[in-house]
């Protein structure tokens, strides 16, 4: 009986919880003060002294589109990637739901891209990248090893509808008609060829690709290729993304742009970014872009690349949209470089391209890097809107 009476009694939890809350609040307060003090001690400001920003509109030479195959786009996403949390985040970054894409077609994503860039005060146009897949022994698209496929036809057709979008082709050199595909891309307005060797299973150092590289030179199509670690997909072969493998196309005269300075990967015990920097002296046709270099997992690399003297004249502005519009890019990750006011005002910028440009500029990315993409690709762009 006694036990029952004890169990039925209401427990005095309220006071105990209040005590816990007060203690927690105290610790939080101490934590915040400690962080602020540490910030004061280690604050180092921007990576380079800030100069006058580029006053013309900027070309984003590294911009992705997505697609689920709706509206006859021919796009393809593996079941594995479609079920992966990353895919929903990518679509959300376009402001499109799977249901909307299913109903209105993948063309909707391209429309959203054009609209977003149209609304940007700083970026005037973008090169939108197709994405070829893995190719099987018969030269056909190997769907079992392809996570993400964005056909050239889709990107060429859709970018032609928007004056602020340009076509970036993607051709896997293992396709039996790879050379004809290059010609087709050029004839249809392609400004570059994009590779992601670690997921397309391309070895850039394979001498069998020589005719392909020679055709790229004839057509004056630069190669934008991913190097370094790849974590946007569910699996990747990072050894194929070693920048040293690019010596073959470089020696044949292909203009090679290494995406995001090969940041985050390593090969043979050396950081890929250092391997890339070591090649600059030998190859004047080697370039790199600053896309995605403000991601939280790449802290430090942007400082390294913009303060590296050997890379002067070779850095191009790119965004790597949609990644810039996800939680992996935030000004709050740069609390040792930016003032609270800067972090607040950049975080409040609605347009993802304007936010990206503002963040990179305030970290010290020089105006000539912002200007270089439009000059490199010969895309004429007007004056940026005054504030």
Least distance to Zn ion, CB of residue 314, Å? 18
Instruction: Give 77 or 338: the residue with its C-beta nearer to Zn ion.
Output: 77
**Residue 247 neighbours by CB under 8 Å, 6+ apart:** 205, 279, 283
Shorter beta-carbon distance to Zn ion: residue 215 or 355? 355
Give the shortest CB-38-to-Zn ion separation in angstroms.
33
| Least distance CB 208 / Zn ion (angstroms) | 26
Q: What 3-state DSSP class applies to 116?
A: helix
Q: How would you class 193 by CB atoms within 10 Å of its CB: exposed for 0-12, middle for 13-18, buried for 19 or more?
A: buried
Task: Return the closest-CA partner of residue 134 out of 143, 124, 126, 125.
Answer: 143
Q: State the pairing for strand pair 270-271/165-169.
A: unpaired
Q: How far is the CB of 283 from Zn ion (least distance, A)?
A: 22
Taking the least distance from each CB to Zn ion, the nearer of 122 and 194 is 194
State the binding string over 269-308 for Zn ion (x if CB under 5 A, else -): ----------------------------------------
Tell me the three state secondary structure of residue 294. Answer: coil
> Which range, of 22-30, 116-124, 237-245, 316-324, touches Zn ion by CB under 5 A?
316-324
For Zn ion, the closer CB: 76 or 195: 195
* Residue 28 CB neighbours (<10 A): 10
Kindly indicate which of the ranges 16-24, 200-208, 268-276, 312-320 contains the residues binding Zn ion, using the contact rule CB under 5 A. Answer: 312-320
Give me the DSSP letters along 167-188: EEE---TTSTTHHHHHHHHHHT
Please say which residue, 111 or 320, places its beta carbon nearer to Zn ion. 320
Smaller CB separation from Zn ion, 131 or 343: 131
Nearest CB to Zn ion, comparing residues 132 and 320? 320
Total residues in contact with Zn ion, by rule CB under 5 A: 1
DSSP letter, residue 158: H
- Burial (0-12, 13-18, 19+ Cβ within 10 Å), 73: buried
Q: Which residues of 236-263 are buried (b: 16+ CB within 10 A; e: fewer)?
A: bebebbbbbbbbbbbeeebbbbbbbbbb
Shortest separation between residue 132's beta carbon and Zn ion, angstroms: 14
- Give the shortest CB-319-to-Zn ion separation in angstroms: 9
Interface positions, 183-202, toward Zn ion (CB under 5 A): none
Rg of the chain (C-alpha set): 24
Pick 60 or 320: Cβ nearer Zn ion: 320
Q: Which residues, numbered 341-380, are part of the site for Zn ion (CB under 5 A)?
A: none
Residue 320 touches Zn ion, criterion: CB under 5 A: yes
Beta strands in the chain (DSSP E): 58-64, 76-77, 123-129, 148-149, 165-169, 192-195, 223-225, 256-258, 266-267, 270-271, 286-289, 315-316
Sketch the per residue contact string, 146 through 165, with Zn ion: x for CB under 5 A, - otherwise.
--------------------
For Zn ion, give the closer residue by CB, 221 or 384: 221
Token readout for 110 is 């391209």
Scanning 85-93, 137-145, 313-321, 353-361 for contacts with Zn ion by CB under 5 A, the matching segment is: 313-321
Q: Strands 165-169 and 192-195: what pairing?
A: parallel
Which of residues 66 and 365 has its CB atom nearest to Zn ion in the complex? 66
Q: Pick from 154, 162, 211, 206: which is nearest to 182 by CA?
A: 211
- Per CB under 5 A, the segment of 161-169, 233-241, 314-322, 376-384 that binds Zn ion is 314-322
Tokens of 185: 């891309």
The minimum distance between CB 277 and Zn ion, in angstroms, equals 20
**Please, what is the minimum distance in Å from the beta carbon of residue 16 to Zn ion?**
52
Q: Which residue is nearest to Zn ion (CB)?
A: 320
Report in angstroms how near the CB of residue 248 gets to Zn ion at its nearest. Answer: 22
CB 289 to Zn ion: min, Å:
9
Note the residues at the interface with Zn ion (CB under 5 A): 320
């Amino acid at each position: 009986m006694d036990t029952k009476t004890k169990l039925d009694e209401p427990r005095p939890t309220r006071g105990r919880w209040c005590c816990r809350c007060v203690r927690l609040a105290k610790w939080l307060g101490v934590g915040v003060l400690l962080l602020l003090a540490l910030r004061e001690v280690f604050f180092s400001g921007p990576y380079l002294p800030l100069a006058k920003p580029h006053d013309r509109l900027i070309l984003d030479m590294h911009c992705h589109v997505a697609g689920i195959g709706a509206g006859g786009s021919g796009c393809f996403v593996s079941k594995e990637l479609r079920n992966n949390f990353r895919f929903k985040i990518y679509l959300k970054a376009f402001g499109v739901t799977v249901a909307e894409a299913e109903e209105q077609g993948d063309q909707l994503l391209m429309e959203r891209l054009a609209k977003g860039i149209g609304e940007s005060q700083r970026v005037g146009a973008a090169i939108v990248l197709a994405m070829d897949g893995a190719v099987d022994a018969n030269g056909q698209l190997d769907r079992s090893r392809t996570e993400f496929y964005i056909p050239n036809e889709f990107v060429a057709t859709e970018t032609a509808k928007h004056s602020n979008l340009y076509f970036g082709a993607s051709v896997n050199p293992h396709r039996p008609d790879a050379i004809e595909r290059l010609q087709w891309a050029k004839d249809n307005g392609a400004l570059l060829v994009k590779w992601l060797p670690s997921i397309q299973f391309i070895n850039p150092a394979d001498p069998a690709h020589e005719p392909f590289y020679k055709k790229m030179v004839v057509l004056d199509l630069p190669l934008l290729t991913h190097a370094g670690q790849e974590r946007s997909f569910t699996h990747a072969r990072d050894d194929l993304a070693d920048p040293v493998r690019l010596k073959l196309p470089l020696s044949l005269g292909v203009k090679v742009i290494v995406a995001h300075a090969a940041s985050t990967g390593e090969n043979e015990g050396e950081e890929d970014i250092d391997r890339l920097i070591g090649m600059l002296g030998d190859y004047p046709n080697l370039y790199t872009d600053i896309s995605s270099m403000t991601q939280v997992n790449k802290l430090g690399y942007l400082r390294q690349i913009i303060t590296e003297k050997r890379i002067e004249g070779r850095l191009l502005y790119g965004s790597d949209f949609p990644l810039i519009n996800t939680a992996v890019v935030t000004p709050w990750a740069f609390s040792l470089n930016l003032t609270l006011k800067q972090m607040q005002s950049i975080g409040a910028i609605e347009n993802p391209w304007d936010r990206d440009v503002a963040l990179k500029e305030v970290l010290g990315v020089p105006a000539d890097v912002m200007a270089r993409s439009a000059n490199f690709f010969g895309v004429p762009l007007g004056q940026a809107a005054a504030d």
